[in-house]
Chains A and B, each alone.
Chain A
Amino acid sequence: MTDASERSAAKSARIGAAMKLLDTRRGRWLVVIARIVVGGVFVFAAVPKIVDPHAFAIAITNYHAVPDVVARVTGAALPLLELLVGIALISGVHARGAAVLSAGMLIVFAVALTRALLLDINVDCGCFGSAARSEIGWDSVVRNIGLTALSALVALSPDVAWRALLGAKQAVAAS
């Protein structure tokens, strides 16, 4: 077996072990909590942006990272995607797919925040629209990384539906 294939096999084994761990009773509860936390943050962040897309578009332009047309389109469209991802995570319908998207969005946000911080751009975060104005800081980056980790947990879990909890309880009762 080559080194590359050995590494690939070891990686698959690690992912398999993590998935097995998430399939235990505690693991399933952890995934449910992760879903609710990330989903709740996404819904909480999306609603004020949907109410006031103008403020969100301006918050995007303040990062000086994308052309105005991208800021305008993103300002109107992204909050709906965030809301849908949040609802999917909380409801458990397509939650793993939603977790992949939430992780992707959170990584993009973290990169934008880091870039602004490194350039010393004094900018309002825009993270929660006009509901909670706050200057950007490394705490925002850490929060995004934490939420990305929780999203990854949901995406890796074998079964994220609410029935998974019921199944876990039945399994415990049977044992």
Chain B
Amino acid sequence: MKRLLIETLRVLAIGVALGVAHGVVRGWPELPAPTAAATTCGGPIAEQPRVAWIRCEEALPLASDASVAFVDARSAEEFLAGHVTDAISAPIEETGVVGPAVVDALRGSRIVVAYCDTTSGCARSTRLAGLLASAGLRDVRVLEGGMPAWLENGYAAEAGP
């Protein structure tokens, strides 16, 4: 028993020393700064994940960046009527959850921008962003002003699927 305890403590001490050295040499991982909290709308998330807001003028240059994905939280009908070019549809209000297909499609993206209309202060997009952040996506942001602000600025949009 004593030998087992000594072995355990040795492995633990060396492992912790290596881990700390790794953190010091490579730097401790930075976490995204907390900003806006996602609304839960009585949904399944017990605690609020962190997502950041993004303004329309900041989002515009990202629209042409292949590593950035736009995701539309509105209904399928609203999406068909007009959406940010190349955006993915994730009608959160209809399904209540984010499908694995949507999460998988967004996995490779450096930044994910969620948007809806401005109903209840972007409730659908903040909820969608919260769910995506909870699903492990690193950098999820919510578009301020949503689709109305995007169109008001005359930024690229398309209709259809």
Contact = CB atoms under 8 A, between A and B. Distances in A.
Interface residues of A, number: 42
Contacts of A37: none
Interface stretch (B12-20, B73-81, B143-151): B12-20
Given A88-B11, A120-B46, A76 B18 contact: no
A54 B16 contact: no
A77 B44 contact: no
A81 B133 contact: no
B135 interface: yes
Question: A interface, by DSSP: helix, strand, loop or mixed?
Answer: helix
Contacts, number: 124
Contacts of A119: 46-47
> B8, B16, B45: which has the most chain A beta carbons within 10 Å?
B8
Contact of B31 (A68, A77, A83): A68
Interface stretch (A26-34, A122-130, A139-147): A122-130
Nearest to B130: A122
B28 A133 contact: no
B7 interface: yes
A57 B29 contact: yes
A88 B6 CA distance: 14
A84 B23 contact: no
Nearest to A78: B19
B4 A100 contact: yes
A72 interface: yes
A102 to B, nearest CB: 10
A85 B11 contact: yes
A77 B19 contact: yes
B134 interface: yes
Nearest to A89: B11
Interface in A92-128: 94, 96-98, 100-101, 119-124, 126
A75 B19 CA distance: 9
Given A61-B31, A76-B23, 4 more contacts: A53-B29, A55-B138, A94-B10, A96-B3
5 contacts: A53-B29, A76-B22, A83-B18, A97-B4, A120-B44
Interface of B: 3-12, 14-16, 18-23, 26-32, 44-47, 49, 97-98, 100, 107, 131, 133-136, 138
